[in-house]
Amino acid sequence: MAISTNQFKNGNHIEVEGTVFKILEFQHVKPGKGGAFVRTKLRRASDGAVIDRTFRAGEKFRAVHAETRKMQFLYADGSEAHFMDSETYEQIAIPESAVAEALRWIPPSSEVEILYIDGQPADIQLPGSVELEVAQTDPGLRGDTASGGGSKPATLETGATIQVPLFVEVGDRLRVDPRSGEYISRA
């Protein structure tokens, strides 16, 4: 089934030159002279890279069926990440290399949304923020305050290392933005 540029909707998935993209935003442009075109911002499903692309009006693409399913992250064994469907208890494995960046922010036994493209598991949809516990960080020094500025590295329970304010200690639960890897607040 083909989808034309005039059927674009934010959130749709299309295939361009063999690569699957999600349409983040689009704009139909009709200049005074010349043919109409569509300016788009696309996110590549395989690695999350965002690109800008322009298409001629009326150009057709293969529509891609995409859906998300709630799953529980079980474990990663070094080559594959294992997940279990929360409703059917069916287990799947995704190559760890394809989801390595997302796994930095997901502790075992947590609920995640897996993106399926054309019936195949393709990626992990991360929320806007995740709560993780600090596993290791240097102790703060006397006089370190919330308004004092400065930061130090902290290793989280999943193994990811981020910069945190000086007052954060081992055992604190933090809210982190998984897209940028930045500290948001204490949980």
What share of the chain has pLDDT > 90, as a percent?
A: 18
Task: Evaluate if residue 68 carries a pLDDT over 90.
Answer: no
Q: Which helix (H) or strand (E) holds 52?
A: strand 50-56
Give 129's pLDDT tier (boundaries 50, 70, 90): confident
Question: What is the pLDDT, as a whole number, of residue 130?
Answer: 86
Give 41's pLDDT tier (boundaries 50, 70, 90): very high
Q: 23-28 — which CB contacts under 8 Å span 24+ positions?
A: 24/50, 28/57
Task: Evaluate if residue 48 carries a pLDDT over 80.
Answer: no
Name residue, tokens 């704009």: 27
- Which of the residue ranges 6-10, 30-34, 96-100 would you say has the lowest mean pLDDT? 96-100
Q: Are 183 and 174 in contact (CB under 8 A)?
A: yes
Question: What is the pLDDT, as a whole number, of residue 140?
Answer: 67
Report pLDDT digits (tens) over 138-177. 886 655 555 556 788 899 988 889 988 888 888 999 999 8
Walk me through the domains of the chain, giving residue ranges and CATH numbers. Answer: 2-63 (2.30.30.30), 66-125 (2.40.50.140), 130-186 (2.40.50.140)
**How many Cβ atoms are within 10 Å of 112's Cβ, its own excluded?**
23
Q: How far is CA 47 from the centre of its chain?
A: 9
Question: What is the pLDDT, as a whole number, of residue 141?
Answer: 64
Q: 16-24 — which CB contacts under 8 Å span 24+ positions?
A: 16/42, 16/53, 16/61, 19/44, 19/45, 19/46, 20/44, 20/45, 20/46, 20/64, 20/117, 20/122, 21/45, 21/51, 22/66, 24/50
